[in-house]
Structure 1
Amino acid sequence: MSAPILLPLHPRHLPEALALQAQAYPAFLVEPEAAFASRLGVAAPFNLAAERDGVLIAYLLAHGWTRESPPPVGAVLDPVTAGDTLYLHDLAVSAAARGTGIGRTLVEAAFRNAAAAGLARAELIAVEGAADYWRGLGFEAGTPPPRLAAKVAHYGPAARWMWRAL
């Protein structure tokens, strides 16, 4: 078995990425194909894939976005959207690759790309009890402002708004 290769997440990855997403997230958080595909065109340098032997084993959907205003689940994004913050939308790792550190590798590569692009902050909504994982990558959690709290609530009862400096 070869070492994983990191590369840009590309439309050719879409079928495998959608399958990984369905395995990693509960149904209410699974993005429709059109919404997922729209994220591939927004700030593509931050959308990353990990392949092993030509098979997608993990991906990160991340894009520039406006601070403290995450897009809703299922929203189709405009490809010319830019922002002042790196928004980490979706990280999925196959069962075979869990525990290998590939998720961290993808996130750290996105941080480097975002810092090189002049972004100084990263944000995300940790779902399904993943806040501890993201704390291990330097994110902090807190009470979101009221206008943001309603958006966070749509991601489930365990969802946490998190941020960190790049």
Structure 2
Amino acid sequence: MPILAPMAPRHLSQALTLQSQVYPPFLVEPEAAFASRLAVAAPYSLVATRGEALVAYLLAHGWPQGAPPPVGAVLDPAVRGDALFLHDLAVSPAARGSGVGRALVDHAIARAAADGLRRAELIAVEGAASFWAGLGFAPGKVSPALAAKVAGYGSSAQWMVRSI
């Protein structure tokens, strides 16, 4: 199993490379947007490494419930939230099937629970809803405003929630 650690600015270059390898171009975020999530997400964003190589990452941060940021948005680091928003999970092809994705999510949820957050939210993209369902997430209630935000993540995107 790879080693899990908090994501730090030194991981940014490798994380951006992994992001571009595993996501379609319309979901690849510019460096400024990705880095802003690190500033907001400090205790919940994690990496998995083997030696010096980053093999997976999770961008997750506290955010206002039911209000996911748009793809590519630069986040305000002063925003605090009442929910854990799992923004992005990327696992390299070499690490798929190893359980590292689940380990990253479990670790972030445990940290959020310790901080008093009681709800986790995400937008499942590119057919990943079944993966997230296996981690306890289920389709959430979607208002028209939320539906418009979710649509920005692709035609197959799905809003999912779970209790922490």
Q: CA deviation at 1:147?
A: 1.1
Q: 1:87 aligns with which of 85, 88, 109?
A: 85
Give distance in 2, aligned partners of 1:152 and 1:40: 21
What are the within-5 Å matches in structure 2 for residues 2-151 of structure 1? 3-151=1-149
What SS does structure 1 have at the residue aligned with 2:156?
coil
Which amino acid is the alignment partner of residue 138 of structure 2? E
Q: CA deviation at 1:80?
A: 1.7
Identity, % of aligned positions: 66
Q: CA deviation at 1:143?
A: 4.8
Which amino acid is the alignment partner of residue 44 of structure 1? A
Q: CA deviation at 1:106?
A: 0.1
TM-score, normalised to structure 2, is 0.98
CA contact (8 A) 1:43 1:82 kept: no
Q: CA deviation at 1:104?
A: 0.2
Give distance in 2, aligned partners of 1:141 and 1:23: 27
Aligned length: 164
Q: CA deviation at 1:79?
A: 1.3
CA contact (8 A) 2:63 2:83 kept: yes
Q: 1:152 aligns with which of 127, 134, 150?
A: 150
Give distance in 2, aligned partners of 1:123 and 1:75: 17
Give distance in 2, aligned partners of 1:5 and 1:93: 13
RMSD of the TM alignment (CA)? 0.8
CA contact (8 A) 2:41 2:59 kept: no
Q: CA deviation at 1:142?
A: 4.0
TM-score, normalised to structure 1, is 0.97
Which whole-Å deviations, capped at 9, do the CAs of 1:41-71 have from their partners, x for residues lacking one?
Answer: 1131100000111210000000000000000
Unaligned stretches of 5+ residues in structure 2? none
Which amino acid is the alignment partner of residue 83 of structure 2? T
Unaligned stretches of 5+ residues in structure 1? none
Give distance in 2, aligned partners of 1:155 and 1:56: 25
Poorly superposed stretches of 4+, deviation over 6 Å: none
